[in-house]
Structure 1
Amino acid sequence: MNQNQAKRLLDRVLVLAKSGKSEAIASLRNTRGGNSRFAVNEITSSSEVETLSLSVTVKIGKRAATATTNQLDDRSIDDVVSRAQRMAKLSPENPESMPPLGKQKYIAVPRASDPATVNATPELRAKAAGAAIAAAKGAKVTIAGFYEHGTHVSALASTGGLHAFHAWTSVDLSCSARTPDGTGSGWAGATSNRVGDLDAAALAKTAVDKATQSAKPRRLEPGKYTVVLEPNAVAGLLDSFTGNLGARRADEGRSFFTKAGGGTKIGQKLFPDIITLRSDPADAGLASAPFDGEGFPRAPTKWLDKGTLTGLTYSRYWAQKQGKQPTGNPDGWILEGGTATREQLIKDVKRGVLITRFWYIRQLDPQTILLTGLTRDGTFLIENGAIAGPVNNFRFNESPVQMLARCDALTATVLTEGARVPALRTHEFNLASVSEAV
């Protein structure tokens, strides 16, 4: 669906939805793409998928309701508007309700949509899966993986005059490998907005090498260690950090970013100079959008600048209440990297642990952003600046706040899990207990 088609559809919905003093917002989401799975060194499925969602929000004063459909015929459109109108009349008042946005200006996102990804075929996915399987068979290990690509459209319109449209592409490939004895496991993955950026054979080789190198691990006791976190592990923890940047929770005393005595920590030096965190919706590789779910414009923003907290996120309601400028809901996160190589991170560690990635991450304490989770797919002992061999997995209890505060070295960034992050070295990382899982 192109921009003109989306505008005509949403304008029609708004004409139906607006009645008397009511206001309305209509949003359209459309994804078309394909995916292929492989497991036990064979392709197991291949699918072409299209999803569509049309949502209508009707606001009557402080009352509002939303109805959604995945059909665009006349009857379905009439029905979804009618449902939203009926429910809005019955909804309780929301004292924090804000009026729909009017006309906005958005930054450009060059090359957000990649023609080769738009035209990706099952044959392309099969070739990638075949390359991964060949790498596994050559090393006599078993591999599984998932390759997915999509062409996406997001469009919004409101009775206040808002019209927003963004089209982009995305691609994701992940591989997990296991040794025949079941004791070794490896993983590798990559995301982008261009199929040409993904090298299935190289990713599979990384997963296979991790699996063979992690077989027959020795036991290492839990404790606090210097750790080298590879990019995917960093991204997993950073996601919880960015999700806690809300100004409201800080203002209300419910956040790590609450200042002692009241207010927020904006302006305080919290981390070393090497830590800079920003968001950039114009970075096409991050598959973000120039506006958030309300249609509020996103802009390139620094949230941490050389260790100093420079901003928190403000919703429209909270910004109005606090006399601040709203930020909208940011996306497209980048933790700026450094000049070290992975080998240099390891070389300066007398005794520590290299961690490939985490999984099953859960928050324990929002006040400190304390998280728990498990290491997996390649956990290795570092001794005297070199990898000394595989060790058991661990459950960690640690905060990304402390990960950043104790960080002393960063590599260049790579794109993983929809963010640009480096590998990093940090200290006193709490590997709280042994996990028997592979």
Structure 2
Amino acid sequence: MSDDAFGPAVDLDAALETLTAVVSGSGADEFDAFLTGRNGQYTRFAGDRIHQPQDIVEVQVMVRAVVNGHAARASTSSLAGAAQAAASAASFARAIAAGSSAPGGHRVATRQTFGTGPVGPPRSLLWFDDTAAFDEAARVEQVRAAMIAAGVGGATVAGMFGRAATSLVTATSGGVERATLATEALASCTFTVDDGTSHFVDVGRSSSRLQLGLAIEAGLQQAAASTGRGDLEPGVYTVVLGPEATAELLEFLPSFGFSGELAAAGVGLWTRSRGQQVATAAVDIADDALADIGLPVGFDIESVPKQRVQLLDHGVVDSPVLDLHTARVLTSSLPRSRSTGHAHIAREEVPETRAANIVMAAGTSTEAELIAGVDEGVYIQRFWYTRPVDTTATTITGVTRDACFEIKGGRLGRPLRGMRFTQSVLEVLASVDGVGDLRRSSPVMNVWNGAITAPAIRAHGFRLGAAPTH
């Protein structure tokens, strides 16, 4: 590590010792526990000044108690409260079990089933010295470079550069104990020239892979090119979506039917379309926390090793993500079903299955080549204010934002104002005929260790409506 201030939010050995003691207690048939920690350091800036340097340390400890197959959880924000959380969880679980006429289906991970050895990516994919060295001085220097470049181009820039050390520690009464520590580098910028804007975001384990110099240069060029925006006639268009826009679409996939809860309930896309071709063969999407891009991690909050789960296999509906409970429920339809390591936690939510590390395979075309293949269409850098409209039809709505251009004769044309859209995500994926060769990772807000890695895509039949009101 580059300095004493950068490291885990809590000592990992102490955390493992505490959690192991907690899950060895009495009051319930089984226990498991996890700690998520994050020691983040951020440099926020706008215009010509750094306005908000931040150091944020977050710790969450959660204990699950199981009595006769019925589970309850309690949480705390420190290791000191772990024993009390275990007692509370056990009390709740006993009350639930006493009020039930049948056993429940919850169990914890055991060493007989999941082992105790090393799991997941090697340390070389988790801890990067360049991110450890991305300290306050290095971030300030990068901010200075961005401000100077913006000033030369008559632009302004606002954003945030940061680094974090994220940790996950787990233990179960079944004898499974795990701990991991990883670096995280994050950059986000908005560039403005008059009424023109452009945006950039990327997250990963290595700060060098963010390629901030190139990103700043490209962002300033796009912002300058997007001045003097005009309106586009509402209609149906061929589109080239930048990596951020593609990632926004992919974020909705789990809620369409790839979560363990939806699969176990027998509803959603996986249930009704398993094995069917719903997108073109160019669309290959997995939840892959073992990949060397995005935010890899080796195991989930139930101590279960992460598996790569194919969501769309070259356009064919493949598999849902599962935790211990949903895998058990699905054994009737999937006899050899077992957890894929996807028990997860999001801010202000109870744990549930989550595809938190979605990765779409890259193609072979540059973004310029995707645009060159469009006679008339629209380039969209990203979306915002997106929300689901009809999860069965996979329809979402939202607004285009930042660098958005008309495409004429295979070249970017006049810049466009923001437009509303209402569109089926599967309809977009079913029309993809080009995939970019470069990918970026977008953080998933409020989801621990969440990232979506996506390339640019070219698709057809995208419905763009009226400009948003301001």
TM-score by length of 1: 0.90
**1:340 matched residue in structure 2:** 365
**1:291 matched residue in structure 2:** 299
Structure 2 residue identity aligned to 1:5: A
Counterparts of residues 4-403 of structure 1 (less than 5 Å): 4-15=13-24, 17-19=25-27, 21-73=28-80, 76-91=81-96, 93=100, 97-103=105-111, 104-105=114-115, 107-110=119-122, 111=124, 112-180=126-194, 183-244=195-256, 245-246=258-259, 249=262, 254-259=267-272, 265-314=273-322, 315-322=326-333, 323-326=335-338, 327-329=340-342, 330-403=355-428
**1:262 matched residue in structure 2:** none
Aligned residues: 426
In structure 1, runs of 5+ residues without a counterpart are 260-264
Structure 2 residue identity aligned to 1:102: T
Aligned CA distance change for structure 1 residues 403 and 31 (closer, same or farther; 3 Å)? same
Shift of 1:257: 3.6
- CA deviations 1:59-99 (Å, max 9, x no partner) are 222443222222334xx344333333333334465975411
Structure 2 residue identity aligned to 1:9: T
Structure 1 residue identity aligned to 2:93: A
Percent pairwise identity: 25
- CA deviations 1:282-327 (Å, max 9, x no partner) are 2243213222232222222333222222323342232234334133
Aligned CA distance change for structure 1 residues 95 and 139 (closer, same or farther; 3 Å)? farther
- CA deviations 1:374-396 (Å, max 9, x no partner) are 11011100111111110121111
1:109 is paired with a residue whose SS is: coil
Aligned equivalents of 2:88, 2:391: Cα separation in 1: 37
Aligned CA distance change for structure 1 residues 232 and 162 (closer, same or farther; 3 Å)? same
Shift of 1:217: 0.8
Could you tell which deviates more after superposition, 274-283 or 217-226?
Answer: 274-283
Shift of 1:144: 0.6
**2:440 matched residue in structure 1:** 415
Task: Verify the 8 A CA contact 1:117 1:151 in the aligned structure 2.
Answer: no
Shift of 1:340: 1.4
Aligned equivalents of 2:286, 2:71: Cα separation in 1: 34
Aligned equivalents of 1:338, 1:285: Cα separation in 2: 15
Aligned equivalents of 1:28, 1:250: Cα separation in 2: 27
Aligned CA distance change for structure 1 residues 343 and 376 (closer, same or farther; 3 Å)? same
Aligned CA distance change for structure 1 residues 436 and 50 (closer, same or farther; 3 Å)? same
In structure 2, runs of 5+ residues without a counterpart are 1-9, 343-354, 443-450
Shift of 1:151: 0.7
Aligned CA distance change for structure 1 residues 64 and 271 (closer, same or farther; 3 Å)? closer
Task: Verify the 8 A CA contact 2:238 2:378 in the aligned structure 1.
Answer: yes
**2:5 matched residue in structure 1:** none
Aligned CA distance change for structure 1 residues 71 and 250 (closer, same or farther; 3 Å)? closer
Aligned equivalents of 1:143, 1:96: Cα separation in 2: 55
Aligned equivalents of 2:79, 2:358: Cα separation in 1: 34
Aligned CA distance change for structure 1 residues 78 and 308 (closer, same or farther; 3 Å)? closer
Shift of 1:57: 1.7
Aligned CA distance change for structure 1 residues 252 and 30 (closer, same or farther; 3 Å)? closer
Could you tell which deviates more after superposition, 411-420 or 188-197?
Answer: 411-420
Aligned equivalents of 2:264, 2:57: Cα separation in 1: 42
Structure 2 residue identity aligned to 1:203: A
Structure 1 residue identity aligned to 2:437: A
Aligned equivalents of 2:421, 2:260: Cα separation in 1: 28
Shift of 1:258: 4.0
Shift of 1:113: 1.2
Task: Verify the 8 A CA contact 1:98 1:316 in the aligned structure 2.
Answer: no
1:285 is paired with a residue whose SS is: coil
TM-score by length of 2: 0.84
1:233 is paired with a residue whose SS is: helix
Aligned CA distance change for structure 1 residues 303 and 177 (closer, same or farther; 3 Å)? same
Aligned equivalents of 2:433, 2:215: Cα separation in 1: 28
Shift of 1:102: 0.8
Task: Verify the 8 A CA contact 1:256 1:368 in the aligned structure 2.
Answer: no
